[in-house]
A and B are shown apart, each in its own frame.
Chain A
Amino acid sequence: MKRIKKTWPFHVMLLPALICLFLFSYLPMGGIIMAFQDYKPWEGVGGSAWVGLDNFRYLFERQDSMQVIWNTLVIAVMKIVFNLLIPFVFAILLNEIRKTALQRSIQTMVYLPHFLSWVILGGILIEMLAVDGFVNRILAAVGLDPVFFLGDNNWFRFTVIVSDVWKEFGYNTIVFLAALAGVSPTLYEAAEMDGANRLKQTLHITIPSMIPITIVVGTLALGNILNAGFDQIFNLYNPLVYEKGDIIDTFVYRTAILNGEMGFGTAIGLFKSVISMALILVSYRLAYKWAGYRIF
């Protein structure tokens, strides 16, 4: 049995993945010391001056960065809520459709946007939501004033959230449908015998059986509370809506990459990473405690 005990092949098999992890995950983590420096590209990480927590102080003093953090929170929380609520209801309603072919076709259509990138969807939305675009022509046809969905601070967040729900709600329905498929039919049969109608069955069997997975999905979403969706915002926003639509990730891109404030950009990124990590750890703990969920 000595052969089985030998583990060197295991280490060899892990080597390529570990090299990639080291280069592209752990090496950048070392770069977070830049958050405590006044980083100058020509001086490098070794040569740039230390500034302690100045970058972080600056982060909390700057008007625009506080606005950006607030925008991120608002957009992310709204997305989390609606991307939980709508799939929850949609799964229950879809489950009531008995014709398998019809159910399949509906699923096929609602999952589709999930697989397309925000570049494609952004291109489509910019076209459709323009002042003379498809949507505004429909609004005009029913006698409403045109809305500048992507250029008006009063409408931008709404547009972002609705379009995110459009992209993701179908896909988010999958886990709920899986939970519904797991409900034992005998429960419904027993309820039927006792004279419960479908509404009662839904309230007392279907919904309670979806609670555990809802808790899991909801708690795990906590980790995304500072993730308002870079790809989407970047492809939809423009300087007109920075006030309500600029989020941490797009702000980092502009200040650090375009304006060259590398140290400051790293500090905001670190701020976000640390909070996200703490939330992810807490949420996994909670999901395990409340619903017995584990990933590994």
Chain B
Amino acid sequence: MYHKTMHYRIFNVFNTCLLVSLAILCIIPLLHVLAISFSSKAAADASLVGLWPVDFSLEAYKKTINNPAFLHSIWVSIARTVLGTALTLAVTFLAAYPLSKDNRVFRSRSIYSWLFVFSMVFNGGLVPFYIVIQKLGLINSFWVLVLPSTVNTFLVILMLNFFRGIPKELEEAALIDGAGHFKTLFKIFLPISLPSIATIALFSMVFHWNSWFDGLLYINNAKDFPLATFLQTVIIQRDMSSMSMSPKEMEMLSQTTVNAAQIFIGAAPILLVYPFLQRFFVKGMTLGSVKE
């Protein structure tokens, strides 16, 4: 057996060390920011913090939590994530069912599927999209964060591939017993597709929580930014002028530790659902890529 040879054992030790250090390297940046967020302002400003907090302090989190603008942006993010995910789920679930049918059963299917696929390979670009959003009156509206991303063809394909895997007999039996297509979809397909619905829900939730550009582009009033956009302007652009803040608040936001705390709070929901993400995403990836 090859595992027992000397060469392989030496290789194995090296290999394990290499991969473990690479893996640790991947999360070191996150640990560093976490350490800063729990350090005192003085230690952080003097660049003393490595991977462990220096002068442990909860000051940064206290300040962050007491910032009404920050709290409001969390609320906007939660609202868009919940509404956006619910809408995407409903629309995707409904659309995937007819698209999963055979061309002989549903003649117009190929026209519809081309409409979906074409929307994936071609787009009008940023400027026409902006004009359409403007003409629809969505500028500065909360709904601009929810509606445009409702249909994602990739998620529709994921769902329809799952539907294709459901035995035909199940559907035929329901139809023969007199159920219509809607009844079949909601009474037969819905209960057994919960795992793939969960996958799509997770995709959509991560997308909404992480989206920042739509807020920056279509919402002019910083008060209505979702958290990701808020962080983008505060941490990356450091653009305080648009934020209409008191000098005290500005002073607070320029602190490294507060930035670190905000980054960490922004990442926290993703870290919380991460165990589920890992399981479902791997499934979703392979579901989306390997098929007949």
Contact = CB atoms under 8 A, between A and B. Distances in A.
B122 A7 contact: no
A interface, over-half SS: helix
Nearest to B260: A127
B217 to A, nearest CB: 7
A253 B115 CA distance: 27
A291 B16 CA distance: 33
Contacts of A207: none
Interface string B167-187: 000000001001011100100
B15 A29 contact: no
B189 to A, nearest CB: 11
A190 interface: no
Interface of A: 3-4, 7, 9-11, 13-14, 16-18, 20-21, 23-32, 34, 45, 90, 93-94, 96-98, 102, 105-113, 115-117, 119-128, 132-134, 137, 166, 170-171, 174-175, 178, 192, 197-198, 201, 216, 223, 230-231, 234-235, 249, 252-253, 256-257, 262, 265-266, 268-270, 272-273, 276-277, 280-281, 294-296
Interface of B: 1-3, 5, 7-8, 11-12, 15-16, 18-20, 22-24, 26-27, 29-30, 32-33, 36, 47, 50, 90-92, 94-95, 97-99, 101, 105-109, 112-113, 115-117, 119, 121-132, 136, 147-148, 150-151, 156-157, 175, 178, 180-182, 185, 206, 209-213, 217, 228, 231-232, 235-236, 256, 259-260, 263, 266-267, 270-271, 274, 277-278, 281-282, 285-286, 289-292
A124 B30 contact: yes
Contact of A20 (B123, B151, B236): B151
Given A17-B156, A137-B47, A262-B127, 6 more contacts: A17-B94, A23-B136, A90-B19, A93-B15, A96-B15, A270-B125
A21 B115 contact: yes
B101 A257 contact: no
Chain B contact residues: helix, strand, loop or mixed: helix
Contacts of B24: 109
A31, A133, A166, A249 pick with most chain B CB within 10 angstroms: A31
A215 B22 CA distance: 26
30 contacts: A3-B175, A7-B106, A10-B108, A11-B108, A18-B112, A20-B147, A28-B124, A29-B124, A93-B19, A96-B12, A98-B3, A105-B23, A108-B274, A113-B26, A115-B270, A120-B231, A123-B263, A127-B33, A127-B260, A128-B29, A128-B32, A166-B26, A197-B2, A223-B121, A253-B126, A256-B130, A265-B126, A272-B125, A273-B122, A273-B124
B89 to A, nearest CB: 12
A134 B32 contact: yes
Given A10-B181, A17-B95, A133-B47, A269 B116 contact: no
B127 A266 contact: yes
B257 to A, nearest CB: 11
A252 B130 CA distance: 12
A27 B124 CA distance: 8
A108 B209 CA distance: 20
